[in-house]
Amino acid sequence: MMQKAIKRRLVDLSHTDFSPDIPSILQRIYSARQIKTPNQLARGLNGLCAPGKLKGITAAVSLLEQALKKKWHILVIGDFDADGATSCALAVSALQAFGAADVKYLVPNRFEYGYGLTPEIVEVAVKYSPDLIITVDNGISSIDGVAAARALGTRVLVTDHHLAGSELPEADVIVNPNQPGCNFPSKNLAGVGVIFYVLMALRGHLRSINWFEQNDLPEPNMANFLDLVALGTVADVVPLDENNRILVYQGLQRIKAGVARPGILALIEVGKRQRHRLVASDLGFVVGPRLNAAGRLDDMSLGINCLLTDDPYLAKEMAEQLDDLNQDRKNIEASMQQEAIKSLDALRVDVAQEQQDELPYGLCLFDDSWHQGVIGILASRIKERYHRPVIAFADVGDGQIKGSARSIEGLHIRDALDSIAARCPGLLTKFGGHAMAAGLSLDKASFPSFCVAYDDEVKRRLSKDDLVADVLTDGVLTKHELTLTTAHIIREAGPWGQGFPEPVFDGEFKVLQQRIVGEKHLKMVVAPADDEQQTLDAIYFNADLDKWPNLDIGVVSIAYRLDVNEFRGQQNLQLMIEYIQAVVEPTQTSQVDETGYDMSILDQTVLQNSELECEIDSS
């Protein structure tokens, strides 16, 4: 594991206009995230960007109005991740509520058809006799698939958020904030956010023509779909700009109040989270992975059906199946990660002695046995470990391999792939994605050539300094700030997430206790280096068991988040360690019991605090 540099975010309060009601610590945190005025912190639905600013929205509403009036057969083509699943469930359930006579969905099985509206999936779609195909979370790169559908006389509405290529599909309508000529202020909508906006505009139009009254339909409240929007937005790791924060906050509030579809509530339950204490990160690390597991290992239809059902008992049954799949996914991932680390360690040994710690700037990993549904997670894990842009590949048959890419700050991965495609024509079969994540395919025989081209491209775009991982923090907390009250304030100030990171602080702490719990998590009791009386629980997930526990370490420098740990009806402050490194050696001999506690520095308060342990979930 590489050494990291702890750096503090810059805070400039001179140009801010915060209300005195906002605690000073939040003012510092908001300023470091470029928040200047209270308006940027709005969380009410009236603060959302207007749908009319989306290019193509008027034409999309007109097309959908025809579909409803003429009772067209509508087929929603989804994607096999959490964003695609929530998008699909939202489209189907909302259109049914609007009075659609026949609306079904189809999700390409990633192992047979790959991603998006391909000509092959159009052949399957024909069996449904669709008059209108709606793509959700895909379609902007489906040039051939859209052409195949329209050649059969099927209309196509593309709703997507991925970056557009040099050519757009010739769909009847495209709604995508990232298509050329779209002036929508928030370019960070997830796929579920895009289809939500389309349906919100449609609902407004239908209301204006008295559609619901004329058809004896209750007018749907679009806010009731925000649980899906919040889940898909957080799970897809899109930046939480002002608009997305509103969508996520409003969805979270409804979930916490129990006003959510049974499938989401069931996934929260099997994930061992308390609904009323849910935060955005729980959607990303607990609910999202279980939903994603269906698309990674099996068929995303299980996840979509879990989101669509109104039956709590059926939802619980499907959520448990998804939980089992997620455990299988974690086991597969762990094995793949061990293999990847071994191959990278071997690569370090193979290079010249003076460069023994050097690795390629851009890492490409491939093994014939790897599961194509898990390579994206593998790429993420290796990226986090080595702080380099990573592409993990799996064999998909017919001489082709498929890669899943994850990038680091400073490298737009899709642009990098585009540059490689331009410099090396024919090397890539296809590619697409975002700044931080992308997918690609190439001939298996071309893998060595691609590795060289990829490393060269990354070296053109990044310096050696860019490969040093920085842990950005919001500074040191004073004794009066390092409290349960501060943790509550920060918890309620979210939602935090990509682009609007949860506050992380740093400081030096004396280690009073340390032991491993849940097989690989380091549980500690620490005290600020300048105040041994203020004892605090701390936990470091997925610790390196070759290094921890280490009873020779007495003081550590850590970067941490504040968490409210609730156990047996009692709340206490807990530090969630993001990064840890030793500072000084202890000056006295530790007295260690069989549990790993240093008994020479414990008092009764510490022993009591150590009992307040949260239930560990390594999702």
Taking only the tens place, the pLDDT of each residue in 69-105 is: 999 999 999 988 999 999 999 999 999 999 999 999 9
Q: Is 327 helix (H, G, I), strand (E, B) or coil?
A: helix
Listed by start position, the domains of the chain span 9-39, 51-324, 359-466, 472-610
Per-residue burial over 22-33, b = 16 or more CB atoms within 10 Å of its CB, e = otherwise: bbebbbbbbbbe
Does domain 359-466 fall under CATH 3.10.310.30? My reply is yes
Give the residue ranges of DSSP H helices in 74-190.
82-97, 119-125, 143-151
pLDDT value of residue 344: 84
Does domain 472-610 fall under CATH 2.40.50.460? My reply is yes
Q: Tell me the C-alpha distance between 440 and 429, whole Å.
A: 7
pLDDT value of residue 430: 86
pLDDT value of residue 14: 83
Burial category of 203 from C-beta neighbours within 10 Å (exposed 0-12, middle 13-18, buried 19 and up): buried
* Fold designation for 51-324: inorganic pyrophosphatase (n-terminal core) (3.90.1640)
Of the two residues 209 and 356, the one the predictor is more confident about is 209
The whole-model pTM stands at: 0.86
Tokens at 348, concatenated: 């370090």
Percent of the chain scoring above 90 in pLDDT: 71
Per the CB < 8 A criterion, the answer to whether 87 and 137 are in contact is yes
Q: Is the pLDDT of residue 585 over 70?
A: no
Q: Is the pLDDT of residue 608 over 70?
A: no
Q: Tell me the C-alpha distance between 411 and 409, whole Å.
A: 6
Q: Is the pLDDT of residue 349 over 50?
A: no
- φ, ψ of residue 543 in degrees (nearest 5): -70, 155
Q: Tell me the C-alpha distance between 262 and 236, whole Å.
A: 21
